[in-house]
């Protein structure tokens, strides 16, 4: 096992299928914990973003060469929460679910988020996520407090192993007047860090805001609030601060206007036993006044990566500081506003033994079809009910299962639709199904009358449309077989494809 502990994750995943004994050893808690989290030179960081109505994840190497990461996630529907030890946390379905994703093993796990009835006046919801040191336990934090008025916090904590949410006592929470910025957080040494603020009112009613550092210990489940260091200030300016991290340091950054130029500043905060031990200016770089920069992260060479908003340009661009020319340069990625998210790449076996769970799957183009309510294409989801867990189904795009809102009540198991398409080759691509979600097997095909072909016409000698349709049917049959028996996919895929090609050749299909 000492030799296996030195191997990359990709090799370990291959060894798991060699023998049951190796799989048992690699899947053990002790091996996963001792393997830990490791950086690889082949990948510097992963980047998620949205462009128009599509979502993407790119993997960047140390030379900032990037490639698309095939995650099989519907990235556009997912909102990044945080990244810790290479594991990502997303929220989706209007914060009713969280998705944990380990890109190094391409494993994702879904977690349901509770909505407490006794929190009706707490619409503001903020999530925290981090991997506990030593045990590598994924831990999730849910924070609620009033949106526009001062009021108490409601905080719940859950771990992946327990999948149980419990409320923290009020004496463990920050002051009700404190608010935190949910657009970013840093996770370092088992602690979550946010930028916080607190408003005070003078006797004449004028408000004054001070900035804070709010942290949460993933082990002790205790909050800690500290004043922003006095060094983190530029003249009389009060910027929107942003938080990120570089190694074991928390990075506070902001962009300031100085007439014809703007400057982006960054300060590095070091902590000891949870308290700020030092604060130093990391950099201050000038840039054109028409550019608004937000610090996202750093390259392996510690060069800052920013999201740039440029006047009169619709999209945001990803830029990196070039130390030779001392300017930020565009590296060729554009995105919608505030959609860039960077997560440092680390390899680990976290989530390895969890069942792969994706509540919203990415549909391939030929799967998409319009919902009967006319509100867009149906969405593909994975059931989380005990008796149907793991099964995929199509639903109305307006449906919100967590809120018992099923939109127009369109519901169809994916396997049923594929069977219908295969059994009715002349049917419409958008058949009419039953509206009752509780009875997905009850539907009317709504098929059109199949075309009648001359009895003396052979399939191989028929029209090109018929051949094309039969080719699609054969491909769908192979897809259904692999979907119905995923555990045999690796073993049988070659045989299925060989049989598919033989059938198509016999029918004169290309």
User: Do 433 and 470 lie in a common domain?
Assistant: no
Which long-range contacts (C-beta less than 8 Å, at least 24 apart) are formed by 374-380? 375/407, 375/408, 378/410, 380/414
pLDDT band at 419 (very low <50, low <70, confident <90, very high): low
Q: Same domain, yes or no, for 155 and 208?
A: yes
Residue 486: pLDDT over 70: no
On whether both 441 and 471 belong to a single domain, the answer is no
CA separation, residue 255 to residues 224, 238, 269, 302, 365 (Å): 27, 10, 18, 19, 42
Query: pLDDT at position 163, please?
Result: 85
Q: What is residue 457's predicted lDDT score, i.e. its pLDDT?
A: 40
Number of domains in the chain: 3
* Reported pTM: 0.71
Domain edge (last residue) among 344, 372, 405: 344
The residue-averaged pLDDT of 51-63 equals: 92
In a domain, 27, yes or no: no
Q: Is the pLDDT of residue 452 over 80?
A: no
Q: φ, ψ for residue 481 (rounded to 5)?
A: -60, -40
- Its domain, for residue 509, covers 466-510
Whether 8 is covered by a domain: the verdict is no
Q: Do 227 and 182 fall into the same domain?
A: yes
Check whether residue 441 and residue 496 sit in a common domain: no
pLDDT 10s digits, 316-346 = 999 999 989 989 999 999 999 999 999 999 9
**Each residue's pLDDT tens digit, 34-43:** 999 998 777 8
Domain edge (last residue) among 344, 371, 392: 344
Strand partners of residue 297 = 305
- Boundary of a domain, candidates 292, 310, 344: 344
Is 351 a member of any domain?
no
Instruction: Check whether residue 102 and residue 244 sit in a common domain.
Output: yes
- More confident site: 207 or 167: 167
**Average pLDDT rounded to a whole number, residues 308-316:** 89
Same domain, 174 and 140: yes
Question: Has residue 84 been placed in a domain?
Answer: yes
Question: 123 and 56 share a domain?
Answer: yes
Residue 31 in any domain: the answer is: no
Within a domain: 20: no
**Distance from the Cα of residue 277 to its chain's centroid:** 33
Residue 252 lies in a domain: yes
Residue 353 lies in a domain: no
For the ranges 110-119, 252-261, 267-276, 351-360, the maximum mean pLDDT occurs at: 267-276
Regarding whether 335 and 186 lie in a shared domain, the answer is: yes
């Amino acid at each position: 096992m000492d030799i296996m502990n030195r191997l990359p994750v990709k090799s370990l995943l291959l060894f798991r299928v060699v023998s049951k004994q190796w799989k048992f050893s690699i899947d053990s808690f002790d091996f996963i914990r001792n393997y830990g989290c490791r950086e690889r030179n082949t990948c510097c960081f992963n980047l998620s973003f949205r462009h128009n109505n599509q979502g993407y994840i790119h993997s960047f190497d140390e030379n900032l060469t990037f490639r698309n990461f095939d995650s099989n996630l519907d990235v556009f529907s997912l909102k990044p929460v945080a990244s810790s030890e290479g594991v990502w946390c997303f929220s989706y379905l209007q914060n009713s679910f969280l998705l944990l994703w380990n890109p190094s093993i391409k494993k994702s796990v879904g977690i349901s988020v509770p909505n407490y009835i006794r929190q009706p006046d707490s619409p503001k919801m903020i999530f925290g996520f981090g991997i506990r040191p030593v045990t590598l336990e994924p831990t999730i934090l849910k924070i609620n407090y009033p949106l526009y008025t001062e009021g108490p916090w409601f905080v719940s904590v859950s771990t992946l192993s327990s999948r149980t949410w419990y409320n923290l006592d009020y004496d463990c929470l920050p002051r009700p007047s404190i608010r935190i910025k949910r657009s970013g957080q840093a996770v370092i040494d088992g602690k979550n860090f946010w930028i916080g603020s607190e408003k005070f009112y003078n006797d004449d009613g004028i408000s004054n805001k001070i900035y804070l550092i709010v942290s949460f210990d993933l082990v002790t489940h205790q909050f800690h609030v500290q004043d922003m260091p006095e060094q983190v200030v530029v003249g009389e300016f009060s910027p929107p601060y942003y938080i990120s991290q570089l190694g074991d340091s928390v990075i506070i950054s902001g962009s300031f206007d100085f007439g014809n130029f703007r400057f982006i500043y960054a300060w590095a905060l070091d902590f000891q036993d949870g308290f700020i031990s030092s604060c130093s200016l990391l950099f201050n770089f000038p840039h054109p006044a028409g550019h608004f920069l937000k610090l996202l992260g750093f390259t392996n060479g510690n060069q800052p990566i920013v999201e740039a908003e440029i006047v009169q340009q619709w999209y945001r661009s990803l830029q990196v500081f070039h130390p030779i020319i001392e300017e930020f340069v565009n590296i060729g990625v554009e995105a919608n506003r505030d959609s860039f998210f960077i997560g440092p790449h680390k390899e680990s076996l976290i989530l390895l033994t969890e069942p792969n769970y994706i509540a919203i799957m990415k549909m391939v183009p030929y799967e998409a079809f319009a919902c009967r309510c006319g509100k867009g294409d149906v969405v593909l989801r994975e059931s989380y009910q005990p008796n149907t867990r793991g099964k995929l189904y199509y639903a109305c795009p307006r449906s919100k299962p967590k809120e018992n809102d099923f939109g127009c009540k369109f519901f169809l198991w994916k396997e049923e639709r594929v069977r219908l398409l295969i059994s009715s080759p002349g049917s419409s691509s958008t058949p009419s199904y039953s509206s009752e979600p509780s009875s997905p097997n009850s539907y009317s095909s709504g098929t059109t009358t199949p075309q009648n072909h001359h009895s003396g016409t052979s399939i191989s000698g028929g029209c090109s449309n018929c051949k094309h349709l039969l080719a699609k049917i054969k491909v769908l049959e192979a897809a259904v077989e692999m979907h119905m028996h995923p555990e045999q996919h690796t073993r049988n895929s070659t045989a299925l494809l060989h049989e598919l090609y033989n059938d198509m050749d016999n029918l004169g299909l290309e």
